[in-house]
Amino acid sequence: MKLTKLANLLVIALVLSIAATGCRKKPVGVTPLPNPYAKNTVSSPGPSLPSTPGGIGTAPETGVGSHPMVNPAETGGTPLGPGHQGWAEDVQTLQPDTVYFDFDSSVVKASEKPKVTAVADYLKANPEKALRVEGNCDERGTEEYNRALGDRRALAVREELIAAGITADRVDTKTWGKDNPANDAGHDEAAWKKNRRDDFIVLTAPAKP
């Protein structure tokens, strides 16, 4: 008997407390609105930016030595070197060695490995050259996911080149995500397979003045 009465009181208290938290204040009066967007003007982009890559803010990035024999799994990857700003770009020479990837994968397939070997051989024969590996994706992925996947594709081939004996600092990477299709006319597998790729850009130091 007592228990039922107590339960009743508890239930009523619970319901009332839930109801009470719903009370709202009443807004009052006329509200003049300020001029829209008076402070929201967007000026043109600021002064020209430093062209040397340097990390965060202006901290310079120092070069790192090569570690051809170290297992990347133990070191967390082989750090990138300082890069080759201002070097001349050649997209033709190694174009036949463009490496292609399966959908949503950054694995360098066995069928593609001979091309990586050919690129390594070229770099060994031309020790004054450097290389940029540019990773790309087809359109069937979301934008930032594809940017990361393209990056992983570039790094995967870079690791193979380092394992083949190329100095780590000679190989730069860049991802385009899906923003740089080789074939942007088609929307089928024939087109997509041509976009899932690493391009090789040969870099030559600028002639001394």
Partner 1 sequence: MQIKHILFAFSLVATGAFAQPSIEITKTITAPGFTPPIWVSLSGFSGEASEVLRFDLYVQGFGFTNAEAAQYILSGSNNGNLEGKVTDNVTKALILQPKAYSGAALRRQAHAFVDDFTVALGRKPICLTKVAFKGENNRHSEIYIADFDGHNVQPVTRDNSIAAAPCWVPGHLALYYESYMLGNPCIFYQNLASGERRAFAHYNGSNFSPAVSPDGSEVAMILDKDGWTDLYVCGRDSSDPKRLTRSPQDESSPCWSPDGRWICYAAKDREHRTLKKISPSGGTAQTIPTSGMPSPSEPDWSPDGQWIAFTVQHARDFGICVVPAKGGEATELVSGEDPSWAPNSRTLMFGRRQGGRYTLCLLDVPTKQYKDVSRFTGISSQSQPSWAR
Interface positions, 52-71, toward partner 1 (CB under 8 A): 53-59, 61
74 vs 125 by CB, closer to partner 1: 74
| Cα–Cα distance measured from residue 144 to residue 53, given in angstroms and rounded to the nearest whole number | 22
Least distance between partner 1 and beta carbon 98 (Å): 19
For partner 1, the closer of residues 51 and 111 by Cβ is 51
Which residue type, as a one-letter code, is found at position 178?
Answer: K
Residue in 139, 164, 191, 194 binding partner 1, rule: CB under 8 A: 139
Residues 6+ apart with CB under 8 A from 188: none
Q: Are strands 171-177 and 130-136 parallel, antiparallel or unpaired?
A: parallel
For 157-193, give one letter per residue: b (16+ CB within 10 A) or e: bbbbbbbbebbbbbbbbbbbbbebbeeeeeeeeebbb
Tell me, by CB under 8 A, how many residues bind partner 1.
82
82 binds partner 1 (CB under 8 A): yes
Place of tokens 């890559």: 53
Nearer to partner 1, 29 or 96 (CB): 29
Residue 58's CB is within 10 A of a number of other CB atoms, namely 8
The 85-124 contact track toward partner 1, x by CB under 8 A, reads: x------------------xxx------------------
Find how far residue 57's CA is from the centre of its chain. 19
Interacting positions 144-203 with partner 1 (CB under 8 A): 144-145, 147-149, 151-152, 155, 158-159, 168, 172-175, 179, 184, 187
Q: Is 200 helix (H, G, I), strand (E, B) or coil?
A: strand
Q: Residues 2 to 61: which contact partner 1 by CB under 8 A?
A: 3-4, 7-8, 11-12, 14-15, 18-19, 22-24, 26-37, 39-46, 49-51, 53-59, 61
